[in-house]
Amino acid sequence: MSTQLAELTVAETAIPGLLILDLPLHGDARGWFKENWQRAKMTGAGLPDFRPVQNNISFNELRGTTRGFHAEPWDKYVSVATGKIFGAWVDLRPGESFGELVTVQVGPGQAVFVPRGVANGFQTLEDHTAYTYLVTEHWSETSRERYSYVNLGDPTLKIDWPVPLAQAILSEADRGHPNLSQATPVPAKRILVLGGGGQLGQALAQRAASDQRLHVLARAEADLCDPASLDRLDWSAYSHVINAAAYTAVDAAETPSGRKRAWQVNAQAVQELAARCVDHHLGLVHVSTDYVFDGMDKVYAEESSIAPLGVYGQSKAAGETAVGSVPRHYLVRTSWVVGKGANFVDTMTRLAHSDIDPLVVDDQVGRLTFADDLAAGILHLIDSDAGYGTYNIQGGGQPLSWYRVAQEIFALCGQDPQRVGSTTTAEYASTKSPFAPRPAYGVLDTSKIRASGYVPGDQLAALKKYVSRAEQR
């Protein structure tokens, strides 16, 4: 009769992310059987969505064989096929848990998930022990350059090895590894930002001064539309990619050359980027726009049906579809972005101090989103492990027309807001060629991002701060 010795459970340890699994063993007179790795069941029980690419086996002839401490730059799932080990793990990631030690005896009925940056070591407790491990990156000779090590006999760790190290079987390399005080910390994976020259990209670049994870690249350094440029990147160094690159020349997109470029940047290149994120198991944050809607509704939620009016919106909608192929994705829709670079607020500020009284459309309604607020919201999604999917990030406050925004700017500049005249989109379009159709309403429902713990800043408060800084320049 078949017997089951344990239920599948996943337990936390003193090292964050280091998880101990109890595995069901089904046995009879012939021996036993177990599901050593079963993604659906194990992720359902609390394991991260681990996607290994390589399976390795270490066969150990004699009891007392001791291997370790290696902290590799990838996640690892370790188990025992036959025999038994005394496992030990030391956290080498910077932070409060650096140097934390966990030891566990592991047989066929247990497994351990070892996160990137945690040093792994073990000692066999029986002859003929086979130790197996699944990893999330392919091993190569150059992989060792990214390892970090700790000495198995470091007295500060006080590890009570079952077989004293003086009697154990271990390599000279393992005997010579540094103690914890000299160990090299394993840095967290970085966040790659593409499109560093745009308004959002520059806001993220400013944050990079205090957030060392952010690796911001402008188009000259990494061109989203140039596969050879992207091939030069070490994708294994990143946990996430923020795609801040886009073709945003809305009117030019209606021309033959602009249409081609819009689809190349906003759709085709995004599809290629999404494929790379799938291949390398990266999280992808992609920024889209209210232009994927037709503007017939007064408020748009994340699940609202898209119906773009112009080429720009159509190309961005196609990019959204590509992003949906990435299991770990955040699709962030926003609108009316204001940051460093050419933008509506800077234009109106300049006109306020000139002798020009502008005409501004009064039948396009939305909210301003300041680039720094957008950047903060994106990083919140990553850092809070918010559920993947679509989120609206837009400034808070009552929706305004462009005309009302212009009046606010003139007032903040100490000018008479009545200098700003109102017009309609149709009247304005008659003076422009080409002119892309715009959604009349670009108001986004931000309930979902608020529920995740991030509250976008009030647009008028941010506008006041932005104009005040511009006035001081």
- Confidence at residue 5, expressed as pLDDT on a 0 to 100 scale: 53
Mark which of 149, 182, 215 sits at the end of a domain: 182
Annotated catalytic residue 70: yes
Closest to 191 (Cα-Cα) out of 69, 79, 327, 284: 284
Considering the domain architecture, whether residues 367 and 444 belong to the same structural domain is answered as: yes
pLDDT confidence of 3, banded at 50, 70, 90? Answer: low
pLDDT band at 174 (very low <50, low <70, confident <90, very high): very high
Annotated catalytic residue, options 77, 133, 238, 441: 133
State the DSSP string of 18-64.
-EEEE---EEETTEEE--S--HHHHHHTT-------EEEEEEE-STT
CA distance 132 to 146: 21
Give the residue ranges of DSSP H helices in 242-339: 256-263, 269-279, 311-323
Instruction: Identify which has the larger pLDDT, 24 or 4.
Output: 24
pLDDT above 90 for 140? no
Number of domains forming the structure of the chain: 2
Alpha-carbon span 273 to 227, nearest angstrom = 9
Four-residue CA torsion sign, 214, 216, 222, 225? positive
- Same structural domain for residues 129 and 166? yes
Residue among 408, 434, 214 at smallest CA distance from 311: 434
Averaged pLDDT, 369-398: 97
Task: State the Cα–Cα distance between residues 314 and 291, nearest whole angstrom.
Answer: 8
Question: Which of 144, 145, 244, 258 is CA-nearest to residue 192?
Answer: 244
Q: Which of 135, 164, 182 is the last residue of a domain?
A: 182
Structure tokens at 194: 């593409």
- How confident is the prediction for the chain on average, in pLDDT? 94
User: How much of the chain, in percent, has pLDDT values that exceed 70?
Assistant: 98
- Cβ atoms within 10 A of the Cβ of 327, count? 13
Residues 96 and 195 in one domain: no
Q: Is the pLDDT of residue 178 over 90?
A: yes
Asked if residue 136 lies in contact with residue 280, where contact means CB atoms within 8 angstroms, the answer is no
pLDDT for the residue numbered 222? 93
Q: Which of 70, 240, 281, 286 is catalytic?
A: 70
Measure the CA–CA gap between 282 and 235, rounded to whole angstroms. 8
281 belongs to the catalytic site? no
Residue 470 is predicted with a pLDDT of 81
| Tens-digit pLDDT profile for residues 395-452 | 999 999 999 999 999 999 999 999 999 999 999 999 989 999 999 999 999 999 999 9
Whether residue 178 is found in the same domain as residue 194: no
d(CA 238, CA 273): 14
pLDDT-derived band of residue 147, with 50, 70 and 90 as boundaries?
A: confident
Mean pLDDT of 113-139: 94
Domain extent at residue 298 = 190-472
Final residue before a domain boundary, out of 126, 158, 182: 182
Same domain, 221 and 293: yes
- Whether 163 and 275 share a structural domain: no
Are 154 and 213 found together in one domain? no
What is the C-alpha separation between 373 and 371, in angstroms, rounded?
5
- Which pairs count as long-range contacts for 152-161, CB under 8 Å and 24+ apart, including other chains? 152/66, 152/68, 152/69, 152/121, 152/177, 154/179, 154/180, 155/179, 156/99, 156/180, 156/181, 157/90, 157/99, 157/101, 159/88, 159/101, 159/103, 160/103, 161/66, 161/86, 161/123
In this structure, the number of other CB atoms found within 10 A of the CB of residue 166 comes to: 7
- Distance CA(302)–CA(229), nearest Å, equals 33
Of 464 and 469, the structure prediction assigns the larger pLDDT to 464
What pLDDT is stored for residue 1 in this prediction? 39
Structure tokens at 111: 């497994």
Give yes or no: residues 170 and 219 share one domain: no
Choose among 39, 65, 186: nearest CA to 117: 186
**Calpha distance 128→122 (Å, rounded):** 14
The pLDDT tens digits for 74-98 are 999 999 999 999 999 999 999 999 9
- C-alpha 198: how far from chain center: 19
255 with 166, same domain: the answer is: no
| Four-CA torsion 295, 297, 301, 306, nearest 10 degrees | -50
CATH of the domain at 303: 3.40.50.720
Place of tokens 């909608």: 317
Q: Given a cut of 60, is residue 57 above it in pLDDT?
A: yes
Are residues 178 and 208 located together in one domain of the fold?
A: no
Q: Which residues contact 172 (CB under 8 A, 6 or more apart)?
A: none
The verdict on 175 and 208 lying in the same domain is no
Which CATH number characterizes residue 135's domain?
A: 2.60.120.10
pLDDT tens, 341-376? Answer: 889 999 999 999 999 999 999 999 999 999 999 999
> What pLDDT does 50 receive?
83
Domain co-membership, 327 together with 401? yes
What pTM was computed for the model? Answer: 0.86
